[in-house]
């Protein structure tokens, strides 16, 4: 897979060398404490706390928020009985390593990417782990299905990545949905062994958002799927135990209770239930008034374009960037070009499709 999937350390090293080569002023161990806009000048006042405790206040024309999906605001369901539970309750955001739970019974609540990754880590390190599946999940393999979808575009071959990005972005998302309806069944045929094995274990499967597979789930939900890198076989083999025959009702003293009266023993409950609203970073830094007034972020609009990202967010000079590496590397140029055009007085009137 050399040239297809960049190793973690290689990517990290490239980012460091990029910052050094371009002499970028990168601050680590720093936190954006607050940001507000002067309604008269439209300047953003941004307060940054450094690792040494000092503060720096910036007054800038443009404020770009690129803090990831939800910025780590745990979305944990409120269940009665938490005070009587004698174990630990965590969110995936707080998870470090399986060795922390040696000798414990772990229950992972959720059945998408984070849930599979954590359950697999626990299982391969000898931890007793059960996955509680709340609803059905779309599953496809990275070994067979990813090459089937992307080998003609993003792979070792004659097409440079920047050209592949443009080809990919030029294809209308709504048209892709129609094609994906057929592709989903073809992908399922490739992954038949895995999917049949999961069904035998009782794992509930679906075909993705609107039965259109993984990409529609990404664009519309930002989740709801698992691209298998090995956890499925652990479920099939019973090394990751599964419960999905009832819904969560409460904590018990020694675990979790369900609406059919059943209980599941647990020393540790890890909620793999998402990170709250995607505008969480804006709400944290700018406050509720600005966050509530911002346009919706993520999901496709009537024209099949992502809402709120890399474009007009509703406040002059406020930009939101999120998504995977491919989206960020492609659309960061467009954010930069918009800012440049505004600063040069060349921006003109923004096109806006139907609300």
Its pTM stands at 0.90
- pLDDT, the chain, mean: 93
Q: Is residue 86 part of a domain?
A: yes
Mean pLDDT across 35-46? 97
Return the HEC string of the chain: CCCCCCCHHHHHHHHHHHHHHCCCCCCCCCEEEEEEECCCCCCEEEEEECCCCCEEEEEECCEEECCCCHHHCCCCCCCCCHHHCCCEEEEHHHCCCHHHHCCCEEEEECCCHHHHHHHHHHHHCCCEEEEECCCCEEEEECCCHHHHHHCCCCCCCCCCHHHHHHHHHHCCHHHHHHHHHHHHHHHHHHCHHHHHHHHHCCCCECCEHHHCHHHHHHHHHCCCEEEECCHHHHHHCCCCEEECCCCEEEEECCEEEECCCCEEECCEEEECCCCCCCCHHHHHHHCHHHHHHCCCCCCECCCCCECCCCCCCCCCCEEECCCCHHHHHHHHHHHHHHHHHHHCCCCCCCCCCCC
Q: What is the rounded distance in angstroms from the CA atom of residue 234 to the CA atom of residue 292?
A: 43
Q: How many domains does the chain have?
A: 2
pLDDT in tens, 116-125: 999 999 999 9
% pLDDT > 70, the chain: 97
| 322 and 258 within one domain | no
Are both 166 and 251 inside the same structural domain? yes
95 lies in the same domain as 168: yes
| Residues 112 and 252 placed together within one structural domain of the fold | yes
Instruction: Work out the pLDDT band at 354, boundaries 50, 70, 90.
Output: low
Between the ranges 168-177, 231-240, 326-335, where is the mean pLDDT highest?
231-240
| Residue 234 CB neighbours (<10 A) | 19
Greatest mean pLDDT among 58-62, 319-323, 327-331? 58-62
**What is the tens place of the pLDDT at every residue in 61-110?**
999 999 877 665 788 899 999 999 999 999 998 999 999 999 999 999 99
For residue 165, the enclosing domain spans 72-271
**Residues in CB range of 272: below 8 A, 6 or more apart:** 91, 92, 108, 109, 110, 111, 112, 114, 115, 118
| 298 in any annotated domain | yes
Average pLDDT over residues 279-298: 93
Q: Which of 240, 203, 226 has the alpha carbon at shortest distance from 125?
A: 240
- Spatial neighbors of 240 by CB under 8 A, at least 6 apart, are 119, 120, 122, 123, 129, 130, 131, 231, 234
Bridge partners for 59 per DSSP: 45
pLDDT tens, residue by residue, 326-346 = 899 999 999 999 999 999 999
Please state, as a whole number, how many other Cβ atoms lie within 10 Å of the Cβ of residue 163: 11
* 186 shares a domain with 113: yes
Q: Which residues, 6 or more positions from 227, have their beta carbon under 8 angstroms from its beta carbon?
A: 113, 140, 141, 142, 145, 146, 214
Q: How confident is the model at residue 355 (pLDDT cuts 50, 70, 90)?
A: low
Co-location of 113 and 246 in the same domain: yes
**Residues 6+ away with beta carbon under 8 Å from 190:** 141, 144, 145, 148
| Residues 287 and 325 grouped into a single domain | yes
Residue 60 lies in a domain: yes
| Confidence category of residue 58, pLDDT binned at 50, 70, 90 | very high
Does residue 112 form part of some domain? yes
Largest CA distance in the chain: 66
Same domain, 186 and 266: yes
For residue 348, tell me if it sits in a domain. Answer: no
Q: So what's the pLDDT on residue 290?
A: 96
More confident residue, 284 or 4: 284
- Mean pLDDT (whole number) for 231-255: 98
Q: 46 with 158, same domain?
A: no
Given 217, 248, 271, which residue is the final one in a domain? 271
Tell me what pLDDT residue 75 has: 83
Give the domain CATH number at 217. 3.50.50.60
Q: Do 107 and 119 meet the contact criterion of CB atoms below 8 Å apart?
A: no
Q: Do 81 and 38 lie in a common domain?
A: no
Does position 206 have pLDDT exceeding 90, yes or no?
Answer: yes
* Mean pLDDT, residues 23-31 taken together: 95
pLDDT confidence of residue 351 = 82
Domain boundary among 246, 271, 296: 271
The answer to whether residue 204 is domain-embedded is yes
Beta bridge pairs of residue 223:
none
Instruction: Look at residues 271, 301, 326 and tell me which one is the last residue of a structural domain.
Output: 271
Query: How is residue 10 written in tokens?
Result: 């290689």
Residues 48 and 176 in one domain: no
Residue 104 belongs to a domain:
yes
Q: Is residue 15 part of a domain?
A: no
Check whether residue 184 and residue 60 sit in a common domain: no
Please, which pLDDT band fits residue 139 given cuts at 50, 70 and 90? very high
| Per-residue pLDDT band at 227 (split at 50, 70, 90) | very high
pLDDT at 2 over 70: no
């Amino acid at each position: 897979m050399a040239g297809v999937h960049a190793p973690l350390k290689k990517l990290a090293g490239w980012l460091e060398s990029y910052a050094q080569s371009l002499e970028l002023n990168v601050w680590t161990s720093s936190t954006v404490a607050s940001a507000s806009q002067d309604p008269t000048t439209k300047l953003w006042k941004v307060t940054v706390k450094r690792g040494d405790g000092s503060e720096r206040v910036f007054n800038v024309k443009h404020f770009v928020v690129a803090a990831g999906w939800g910025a780590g605001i745990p979305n944990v369901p409120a269940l009665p009985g938490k005070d009587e539970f004698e174990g630990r309750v965590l969110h995936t955001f707080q998870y470090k390593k399986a060795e922390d739970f040696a000798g414990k019974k772990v229950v992972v609540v959720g059945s998408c990417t984070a849930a599979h990754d954590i359950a697999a880590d626990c299982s391969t390190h000898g931890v007793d782990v059960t996955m509680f599946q709340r609803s059905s999940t779309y599953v496809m393999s990275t070994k067979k299905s990813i090459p089937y979808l992307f080998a003609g575009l993003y792979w070792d071959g004659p097409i440079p990545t920047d050209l592949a990005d443009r080809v990919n972005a030029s294809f209308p998302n709504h048209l892709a949905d129609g094609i994906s309806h057929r592709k989903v069944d073809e992908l399922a045929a490739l992954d038949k062994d895995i999917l049949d094995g999961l069904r035998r274990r009782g794992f509930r499967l679906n075909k993705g958002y609107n039965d259109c597979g993984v990409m529609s789930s990404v664009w519309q939900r930002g989740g709801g799927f698992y691209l298998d890198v090995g956890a499925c076989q652990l479920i099939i083999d019973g090394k990751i135990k599964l419960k999905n025959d009832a819904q969560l009702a409460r904590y018990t003293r020694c675990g979790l209770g369900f609406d059919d009266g059943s209980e599941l023993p647990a020393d540790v409950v890890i909620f793999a239930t998402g990170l709250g609203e995607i505008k969480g970073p804006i709400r944290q830094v700018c406050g509720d008034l600005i966050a509530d007034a911002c346009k919706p972020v993520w999901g496709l609009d009537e024209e099949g374009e992502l809402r709120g990202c890399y474009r007009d967010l509703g406040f002059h000079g406020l930009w939101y960037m999120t998504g995977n590496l491919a989206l960020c590397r492609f659309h960061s140029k467009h954010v930069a070009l918009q800012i440049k055009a505004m600063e040069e007085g060349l921006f003109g009137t923004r096109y806006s499709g139907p609300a």
